[in-house]
Amino acid sequence: MEDTIRRLEQHHLHIVDQQTHPLDSADKTRPDTPTSATDDTTPSTRSSSGSDDTSLSEPALFTKGLPFQDEASRIRAEDHLPSPSTSTATTPVPAFAKVQYELVTVVGDREVRSDMPLSSLQQLYLPIQEDAYRHVDPETKTLSFPHQPGFPAVKMLPNQQRKRILVTGGAGFVGSHLVDRLMLMGHEVIVLDNFFTGSKRNVQHWLGHPHFELIRHDVVDPFMIEVDQIYHLACPASPPHYQYNPIKTVKTSVMGTINMLGLAKRTKARFLLTSTSEVYGDPEEHPQKETYWGHVNPIGPRACYDEGKRVAETLTYSYMNQDNVDVRVARIFNTFGPRMNEHDGRVVSNFIMQALRGEDLTIYGDGQQTRSFQYIHDLIDGLILLMNKNYKEPVNLGNPEEYTIREFAEMIRDEINTEVKITGRPPIEDDPQRRRPDIGRAQRYLGWEPKFSVNQGIRETVQYFKKTKDEQTSYQN
């Protein structure tokens, strides 16, 4: 126990040290992974049915039907230790200290073979390569696909290491970046998407690749396929989209998750649910730890999403306890990056598009509500680590740097257009006042923490949005 307290104290010191880059001191401050939560990165041999029952080789964190015993209780006890940085939302807490980040040029983690130069991913979403796939002619107002350039080179993996991976919602913002990484890592990827908020364009550079398949399908309906891993992302994620048809949103979360868990059970595939920080609602605890049960209005405008995801988590652990499905749950905090839908009403895309159009940046309420923004590649690193490590309880993935919405608007204004003003509008119902992940679990059990500064992420995202805006302007003129 003393060890644990020491580790948490070290972790806290590490977080509050404004001068130190988190990675500079990672080896000294990152607590050791507990021996029982051993890494499971050794590729499994694919069985004849295509299943990947790696649970056989893993120490049992949960005993079937009797969850949260022994090891899990110990982990929970650690999680419940008073964290020096945890407080109630009513206590004034200074915004999280901003750390100095270095420019990232390599993403991923060598241990799970997801490491690669950032430039190999950038070629798939930054403007230069886009031009190679699409040609917009402003004269004739036509769009053509002159030739399909060669596919990006993917890693060559021996058969027993190459997994068949299903990504539901793989044509969306997060999904398409996950697909890029898994493809470049050398796996076979099948995307299931109904294109409600996603787009073929996000994955067009893989269409026709022998390792890639895109299937139009709604996860509310059952689907059969042989796979080794399932990343279950399908669900609209922005308020205007999930509130457009709340009943459908609940169906997607509940029936979609049942269908994918059923598939995981049948094929013995490992299943990862992308849950959300919204399960914490408008939190009374700050920052939010995974042990916090949340403060959600079950009948408010956000309930279809928040409660839908809470049930999705319940289903996930019920399939684990009742049917021994090998599960992972990521609770994702605000994430931004290229390929975000510019019309989806999320704060990052709103501010960037407003600044690019020379319009005022709109803030709802007084702008003192806080958010933490994580760059997309950090999230993808975390998801792949979580899938490939042996940790089954929910894990927060987010950047603990906390900004007020006003601060964030100022950053974007300064990056794009200092002429525009920041104006206020009435607050939105049930808008959470504070959001910041406690990433202690991710640090301890995955060896993960964000590497990208918000500024580096914003610069890339602005570059991407500029290109899409220019293309639209050429259609309209």
Both tokens of residue 283?
A: 């939190």
Give, as ranges, the residues between 134 and 193 that touch ligand NAD (CB under 6 A): 168-169, 171-175, 193
Strands 361-364 and 422-425: parallel
Residue 274 interacts with ligand NAD (CB under 6 A): yes or no? yes
Among 196, 351, 375, 465, binds ligand NAD (CB under 6 A): 196
Which residues are within 8 A (CB) of 436 and not within 5 positions of it... i.e. 6 or more apart?
Answer: 96, 286, 287, 288, 333, 370, 372, 398, 400, 402
Among 154, 233, 261, 320, binds ligand NAD (CB under 6 A): 233
CA 246 to chain centre: 22
Residue 308 interacts with ligand NAD (CB under 6 A): yes or no? no
The span of 12-20, 92-100, 134-142, 227-235 binding ligand NAD (CB under 6 A) equals 227-235
> For ligand NAD, which is the closer residue by CB, 237 or 420?
237
**Cβ burial, residue 28 (10 Å; 0-12/13-18/19+):** exposed
Among 259, 276, 350, 388, binds ligand NAD (CB under 6 A): 276
Residues 367/421, Cβ–Cβ less than 8 Å: no
Among 118, 126, 157, 220, binds ligand NAD (CB under 6 A): 220
Q: Catalytic one among 305, 319, 375, 445?
A: 305
Give, as ranges, the residues between 314 and 343 that touch ligand NAD (CB under 6 A): 332, 334-335, 341
Among 83, 194, 229, 259, binds ligand NAD (CB under 6 A): 194
Residue 239 interacts with ligand NAD (CB under 6 A): yes or no? no
Q: Could you give the CA distance from residue 142 to residue 138 in angstroms, rounded to a whole number?
A: 7
> For ligand NAD, which is the closer residue by CB, 135 or 343?
343
Catalytic residue at 305? yes
Among 75, 165, 182, 234, binds ligand NAD (CB under 6 A): 234
Among 52, 109, 180, 218, binds ligand NAD (CB under 6 A): 218
> For ligand NAD, which is the closer residue by CB, 196 or 403?
196
The span of 80-88, 196-204, 264-272, 281-289 binding ligand NAD (CB under 6 A) equals 196-204
Residue 465 interacts with ligand NAD (CB under 6 A): yes or no? no
Residues 295/283, Cβ–Cβ less than 8 Å: yes
Among 83, 252, 370, 372, binds ligand NAD (CB under 6 A): 252
CA 245 to chain centre: 23
Shortest CB 42 distance to ligand NAD, Å: 28
Shortest CB 470 distance to ligand NAD, Å: 22
Residue 352 interacts with ligand NAD (CB under 6 A): yes or no? no
> For ligand NAD, which is the closer residue by CB, 52 or 344?
344
> For ligand NAD, which is the closer residue by CB, 117 or 222?
222
> For ligand NAD, which is the closer residue by CB, 319 or 373?
373
Name the site residues for ligand NAD (rule: CB under 6 A): 168-169, 171-175, 193-198, 218-220, 233-237, 252, 256, 274, 276, 332, 334-335, 341
Instruction: List active site positions.
Output: 305
